[in-house]
Amino acid sequence: MTSETPAIISIRGLTKTYANGFRALKGIDLDVREGEILALLGPNGAGKTTLISTICGLVQPTAGSVTVAGFDIGRDFRKTRELIGLVPQELAIAPFDVVENTVRLSRGLFGLSRNDHYIADLLGRLSLGDKMTNIMQQLSGGMKRRVLIAKALAHEPRILFLDEPTAGVDVELRKDMWDIVEQLRQDGVTIILTTHYIEEAEEIADRVGVIANGELLVIDDKTTLMSRFGKKQLSIELRSPCSSLPESLAEFDVELSSDQSRVIYSYDTRAERTGITALLQALNEAGLQLKDLSTVQSSLEDIFVDLVASNRETGEGVA
């Protein structure tokens, strides 16, 4: 995926102020590229669902513009909505509806004529083939979520929104979900998902955006993001344990591991100088003998926690 890939969704200066005066979105600018998987991370109440709901037509924007495949979501709502499928965060189901009927309904609502073959095939791919004639009430939570995915895909959309697809889903089903997403990507569907699970974003997304307090703090390719914000740790194993760090190392961000056998150095990969050479020299001068070296890259989780924490500080500073 290159940055030249055309944007299928373009969001400019999007703000949303709810009727009670709460500002849930504070000027979001975002381009979603065709065919990518974009993960939106953010703490509870960040505005992820509000953002998705606005694009899908469930929430009226206060200001700003959103276009989908070049069409405005207000003026050309029919054209934009036909392209979009939405799996909501809440498990909203009609308890007495038969599975195949409810999926058929979805297809019709989006203006497509009946196609039982497509729907049977879709339900089969979602491992619901044997549940087609059950009523929703008889399904487990994970099955209900898959029916909601089937409903969202019933009209063969080009864009799929998954609002926390794996919340409250067991490990196995989560893997299933990831497979489904991967399969859809191969079919060329653009996928925007929200999640609280960093490993999920790390596992399946091409790009990751972090939202907090109604603002998009950062959005970038997963790998770029990790190297840009990534802190690395250098773990230096000592030949013989040392009871305390020599004074000469005070200028470095170093710690002694609890078993006193390793010196751990944290550095920023973005920095001009990592300071590794100087550290090694200082260690040498202090008479510590090295046995082995290893580095550990911080995970997306650490990056995320850092970002949100610093946003909270600045946010409170302003208020």
Partner 1 sequence: MNIEGVKAIYINEMRRTRKTLLQSVVSPVLSTMLYFVVFGSAIGSRIESVGGVEYGLFIVPGLMMLSLLTQSISNASFGIFFPKFTGTIYEVMSAPLSFFEIILGYVGAAATKSLIIGTIILITAAFFVDLRIAHPVWMVTFLLVTCIAFSLFGFIIGLWADNFEKLQLIPLIVITPLVFLGGSFYSIDMLPEFWQKVTLLNPVVYLISGFRWSFFDVADVSVGLSVTMITGFLLLCVGIVWWMFRTGYKLRS
Positions that interact with ligand ATP (CB under 6 A): 18, 20, 22, 24, 42, 44-50, 89
User: Length of the chain in residues, anyone?
Assistant: 319
For the chain, the farthest-separated pair of C-alpha atoms sits apart, in whole angstroms, at 79
Interaction residues for partner 1, span 15-34 (CB under 8 A): 18-19
Question: Helices 141-153 & 116-125, crossing angle to 10 degrees?
Answer: 140
Contact between residue 222 and residue 300 where contact means Cβ atoms under 8 Å apart: yes
CB of 212 to ligand ATP, least distance (A): 9
Selected from 49, 80, 195, 213, the binder of Mg ion by CB under 5 A is 49
72 binds partner 1 (CB under 8 A): no
Selected from 49, 106, 166, 213, the binder of partner 1 by CB under 8 A is 106
231 membership: H or E segment, kind and range: strand 231-238
CB of 48 to Mg ion, least distance (A): 5
Six-digit token pair at 17? Answer: 């102020």
Q: Which stretch binds partner 1 (CB under 8 A): 104-112, 193-201, 240-248, 276-284?
A: 104-112
88 binds partner 1 (CB under 8 A): yes
Residue count at the site for partner 1 (CB under 8 A)?
33
Six-digit token pair at 31? Answer: 């381009």
Selected from 58, 63, 290, 309, the binder of partner 1 by CB under 8 A is 58
113 binds partner 1 (CB under 8 A): yes
Selected from 5, 89, 101, 233, the binder of Mg ion by CB under 5 A is 89
Closer by beta carbon to ligand ATP, 218 or else 249: 218
Q: Whole-angstrom Cα distance, residue 115 to residue 13?
A: 40
Strand segments (E) across 69-183? 71-72, 84-87, 159-163
Residue with tokens 């899908």: 56
Strand partners, 266: 233
Q: Which stretch binds partner 1 (CB under 8 A): 78-86, 115-123, 196-204, 282-290?
A: 78-86
Measure the CA angle with vertex 279, ends 276 and 280; round to 5°.
85
Choose the contact partner of 112 out of partner 1, Mg ion, ligand ATP, none; CB within 5 to 8 A by kind. partner 1
Residue with tokens 């082995």: 292
Contact between residue 279 and residue 245 where contact means Cβ atoms under 8 Å apart: no
Q: Whole-angstrom Cα distance, residue 230 to residue 227?
A: 5
Amino acid sitting at position 110: F
Closer by beta carbon to ligand ATP, 52 or else 132: 52
Closer by beta carbon to Mg ion, 49 or else 311: 49
Closer by beta carbon to partner 1, 114 or else 291: 114
Which residues sit at the interface with partner 1, rule CB under 8 A? 18-19, 56-60, 77-79, 81-82, 84, 86, 88, 90, 92-96, 101, 104-113, 151
